[in-house]
Amino acid sequence: MNFQNIFKQYENELKQVERELINIFQSEATLIPTIGAYIVNSGGKRLRPLFLLSSADLVGYREYKRVILAAVIEALHTASLLHDDVVDEADLRRGKVSANKIWGNQVTVLLGDYLYAKALHISVAQESLPIMEALSLATSQMAEGEILQLMKAGDPTITFDEYIKIITGKTAGLIRAACRIAGILGELPQEKLQALTEFGNNIGIAFQMVDDILDYVAQESELGKKLGKDLMEGKITLPLIELMKKAQEKEEIVGIIKSDNFSEENLLKILNYLKQYNCIESSMEIVRQYIDKAKKALQVFPDSEARKRLFMIADYITLRSK
């Protein structure tokens, strides 16, 4: 079984998730479903819903509520992307023109707000305080992670621990919530619920690390955004943290990071230094450590097809960089 086969296994349910997502966009304000259709049709791997669905299989929960909550998770993710694109003044999202470029910042921010509110409203209807706690915590942590990232923008002294705190909030929190919600639905005992939550957290950290690595190594057509965009926006991510730890040319690198007039020449210098000091390789080694931690957390569950699928999704995260 490979990763694409896993998606094929969940193909029908993921289509149901997309239909529920379209329903979340329904409103008398006709611009909301119009933009919603554009966003949903823009694609995306629906990885967060996949984590919830496959984790639900692990715990033996197969009711339709898992589809509804997978759509809620994807709606929260979409809301965060809409806000991110406004903050980052993005031109592209998944290789297509971003919503803020078509409909403007005001509409895009308000649509993100609408999605947050509507998603949480739907989750209230599930009548589960633990699920609400998981979702509200993830939502507040996403905003906190983004604000922490803005506070550290262009700061070459950022530590690895600070970086982990940022990506735990902005990315890992929602993947952790997806896995935890599946455990809540399956009424897991506390030890197994915590293990599944830990799996989601470590996978989420690894996933964002790979995204940050791809910013320096992927083809723009694959990435769906400009190569080196994080650096241009002052985001100091794992490859640069590794570079600052290893490089002898720290003064020059700091100058590039702090430069107001970022150039292609500066990007090439950074790319060359990353290569010279094997920073992509060492960054990927850190990713693998988090993947291993995630897999170890699932050892409390008996061997099963569902657990194998989760392991395979975890392995896919490292393959994205190749």
pLDDT per residue as tens digits for the range 90-111: 888 877 899 999 999 999 999 9
Query: Quick one: what percent of the chain has pLDDT higher than 90?
Result: 83
Mean pLDDT of the chain, nearest integer: 93
- Residue 92 dihedral angles phi and psi, to the nearest 5°: -125, 150
Lowest mean pLDDT among 96-100, 163-167, 194-198: 96-100
What residues form DSSP beta bridges with 93? 96
Q: How confident is the model at residue 224 (pLDDT cuts 50, 70, 90)?
A: low
* Contact partners, residue 302, CB within 8 Å, separation at least 6: none
* Contact partners, residue 105, CB within 8 Å, separation at least 6: 86
Task: Say if residues 159 and 196 touch (Cβ distance below 8 Å).
Answer: no
> Any idea which fold 3-319 has?
Farnesyl Diphosphate Synthase (1.10.600)
Task: Say if residues 298 and 307 touch (Cβ distance below 8 Å).
Answer: yes
CA distance 119 to 79: 10
Domain positions in the chain: 3-319
pLDDT at 322 over 60: no
Task: Say if residues 312 and 296 touch (Cβ distance below 8 Å).
Answer: no
The H or E element that residue 53 is part of is helix 47-59
pLDDT at 78: 96
Residue for token pair 């005992």: 189
Query: Quick one: what percent of the chain has pLDDT higher than 70?
Result: 96
CA distance 297 to 53: 18
Task: Say if residues 174 and 138 touch (Cβ distance below 8 Å).
Answer: yes
Residue for token pair 């897999």: 295
Task: Say if residues 44 and 93 touch (Cβ distance below 8 Å).
Answer: no
Q: What is the pTM of this model?
A: 0.93
pLDDT per residue as tens digits for the range 173-191: 999 999 999 999 999 999 9
CA angle 53, 57, 58 (to 5 degrees): 115
The H or E element that residue 315 is part of is helix 305-319
What residues form DSSP beta bridges with 97? 92
